[in-house]
Amino acid sequence: MTHAALLAALAACLGEAHVLTGADAEPYLTDWRRNVTGRALAVLRPSDREEVAQAVRLCAAAGVPLVPQGGNTGQVAAATPDASATAVVLSLLRMNRVRALDLDNDTISVEAGCVLQAVQEAARNAGRLFPLSLGAQGSCTIGGNLATNAGGTQVLRYGNARELALGLEVVTPQGEIWDGMRGLRKDNTGYDLRDLYIGSEGTLGIITAAVLKLFPLPRSQCTALLVLDGLPQALRLLRRARGALGAGLTAFEVMSAACLMDVVRAFPQQRLPFADLPDGGWCALLEISGGEEDGRAQELLETVLSAALEAGEALDAAVAVSGAQSAAFWHLRESITLALAQAQACVKHDISLPASRIPAFVQSTDRALAAAFPGVAMRVFGHLGDGNLHYNLLPPAGASHAAIQRLVHDRVHEAGGAISAEQGIGQLRVQDLQRYKSEVELDLMRRIKAALDPRGLMNPGKILEAGPQTGATAGP
Ligand code: FAD
């Protein structure tokens, strides 16, 4: 089938208005960080799973690769096609229906294009909590969250996206529909296909819907921002808070003072609750959530903070006295990525290590970078409770970004960590995966890909190097 015949068949199936080309397709072709712009034969906007399946079958018959896309907020250009203009982007944004709420089973079933915040709101309106929470929640989608196994700020208590999904519906690379929408908390009937698709970044199939876990809404919640001398103090504070608050500790975030100064410079309407922050200092953001029997969140948190101040773990502390103030604290934290996006250049790393090794890692890596790249500036923040740091750097003029990244990732690998904690591999970290994974692990991954997508048509060049795409037709 020629490309023109394929586009005509897709338009007949999805409607002309939902097969975008030319200028209409452009907004879908550049990644969020504006690192990569690709080209596509067309952007498809199906409205339900049958349309997805038909579109996949048509593309498979024509040998045309597909790039699934949700909110396009990913950080590793995983939803951006390559420059060859031979793939189609398949946007899930029109598939944004809540299919069912089952309050007895504590689950919500949603289509993949539902925006995360809309799912949080649907859960809240039903008196439940859907806890996945991240800075991009106003535009990222559940499909993207699952395809990247997103983390965010509540992992400490509720886990990654993987822990929040009970069932999936997936369109396979052959265009079949796998209905795995089982809201089961226990299901040991063979290989776990759900877990295979979660985190596969659109390389094994297209997630069209999911059954998600719901939780009770916290009856009380309290947030505090603390000023700290350094990460060793943050680690001691984390241990103290965990010991005293147990599962009530729902978030423990750290951010360097430099990150927060960037935020207030970029967004002057935002205010820090402290007169100033020490040079080289850090802040920690703690959140505690309680159930009905535990309506004393603020009192409990204040007890921990007093002890931390007394023990010298914290230099200063501000406890939010209202929901608005708590939201303002979170807004500071969630604005860091946006503030850094305004920096001329930022070399980003999304690393994970056992939390206990993080202070030593940061100290020695900061030192090694300063020696190798004089003038480099650190902009580090992250989810200390999960051992995950966004170890971001503003490079000096002329420094090789690849060399900086190599230094950081080599050290992460030597320390037993992972070079991607929550953002995935996409197309930006494919070479890193080759460098740091063992041959056995890479080989197993390639065999899984070959088994499920033997023609290599699902999001080629993401996670693994692009294999041969068999059956591709040439020409317009
Ligand atoms: P997209 O960017 O559209 O796609 C991401 C990947 O998923 C691609 O490989 C794509 O092909 C695939 N995909 C999308 N939908 C489907 C589908 N239905 N089926 C199969 N594959 C699909 N991430 C975190 O983990 N934690 C954070 O704290 C966090 N904070 C962020 C803050 C900001 C300000 C921004 C901009 C991003 C942040 N991110 C964070 C990254 C990003 O928001 C997440 O990766 C998010 O899960 C991506 O969802 P999306 O819908 O935008 O996916």
- Spacing, Cα 307 to ligand 1 middle (Å): 39
For 253-267, write each residue's pLDDT tens digit: 999 999 999 999 999
Backbone angles phi and psi of 408, in degrees to 5: -65, -50
Residue 470 has pLDDT above 80, yes or no: no
pLDDT at 283: 97
Identify the residue whose C-alpha is closest to ligand 1 atom 46.
145
Identify the residue whose C-alpha is closest to ligand 1 atom 38.
136
Identify the residue whose C-alpha is closest to ligand 1 atom 45.
74
Query: In sequence order, which residues have a C-beta less than 8 Å from that of residue 162 and are 6 or more positions away?
Result: 146, 149, 195, 198, 199
Tokens of 230: 């350094």
Q: Which one, of 150, 133, 157, 152, lies nearest residue 201 by Cα?
A: 150
Taking the C-alpha atoms of residue 460 and residue 427, their distance in angstroms, rounded to an integer, is 9
Give, for ligand 1, the residue of 66, 73, 88, 139 to mutate: max count of ligand atoms closer than 8 Å to Cβ.
73
- The mean pLDDT value for 362-383 works out to 97
- The mean pLDDT value for 271-286 works out to 93
Taking the C-alpha atoms of residue 44 and residue 28, their distance in angstroms, rounded to an integer, is 10
Mean per-residue pLDDT of the chain: 94
| DSSP at 357 | G
Q: Which one, of 169, 173, 177, 158, lies nearest residue 198 by Cα?
A: 169
Residue 469 has pLDDT above 80, yes or no: no
Q: 1 vs 61, 62, 90, 472, CA distance in Å?
A: 8, 5, 19, 9
Identify the residue whose C-alpha is closest to ligand 1 atom 21.
202
- The mean pLDDT value for 23-52 works out to 97
- The mean pLDDT value for 194-207 works out to 98
- The mean pLDDT value for 343-370 works out to 95
| Beta strand segments in 315-356, E | 316-319, 350-352
- Spacing, Cα 222 to ligand 1 middle (Å): 28
- Spacing, Cα 202 to ligand 1 middle (Å): 11
The least confident of 59-63, 206-210, 288-292 is 288-292
Residue 473 has pLDDT above 50, yes or no: no
Taking the C-alpha atoms of residue 92 and residue 49, their distance in angstroms, rounded to an integer, is 10
Q: Checking DSSP bridges between strand 282-290 and strand 220-228, what pairing results, if any?
A: antiparallel
Q: 169 vs 150, 186, 189, CA distance in Å?
A: 18, 18, 17
pLDDT at 476: 35
pLDDT at 464: 97
Identify the residue whose C-alpha is closest to ligand 1 atom 32.
135
For 287-313, write each residue's pLDDT tens digit: 998 755 556 778 888 999 999 999 999
Percent of the chain with pLDDT over 90: 89
pLDDT at 36: 95
According to DSSP, the residues that pair with 110 across neighbouring strands are 98, 210
Taking the C-alpha atoms of residue 243 and residue 252, their distance in angstroms, rounded to an integer, is 13
Sequential DSSP letters for 243-272:
HHHGGGEEEEEEEEHHHHHHHHHH-TT---
pLDDT at 475: 34
- The mean pLDDT value for 48-61 works out to 98
Taking the C-alpha atoms of residue 458 and residue 456, their distance in angstroms, rounded to an integer, is 6
- Spacing, Cα 140 to ligand 1 middle (Å): 6
Residue 399 has pLDDT above 50, yes or no: yes
210, 146 Cβ separation under 8 angstroms: yes
Identify the residue whose C-alpha is closest to ligand 1 atom 14.
144
- The mean pLDDT value for 40-62 works out to 98
**Ligand 1 interacting residues, C-beta cut-off 6 A:** 32, 67-75, 78-79, 92, 112, 134-136, 140-141, 143-145, 147-148, 150-152, 201-202, 206-207, 337-338, 422-423, 459, 462
- The mean pLDDT value for 432-444 works out to 97
For 88-135, write each residue's pLDDT tens digit: 999 999 999 999 999 999 999 999 999 999 999 999 999 999 999 999
- Spacing, Cα 128 to ligand 1 middle (Å): 24
pLDDT at 468: 58
Give, for ligand 1, the residue of 29, 66, 148, 352 to mutate: max count of ligand atoms closer than 8 Å to Cβ.
148
Q: Which one, of 101, 79, 105, lies nearest residue 90 by Cα?
A: 79
Residue 373 has pLDDT above 50, yes or no: yes
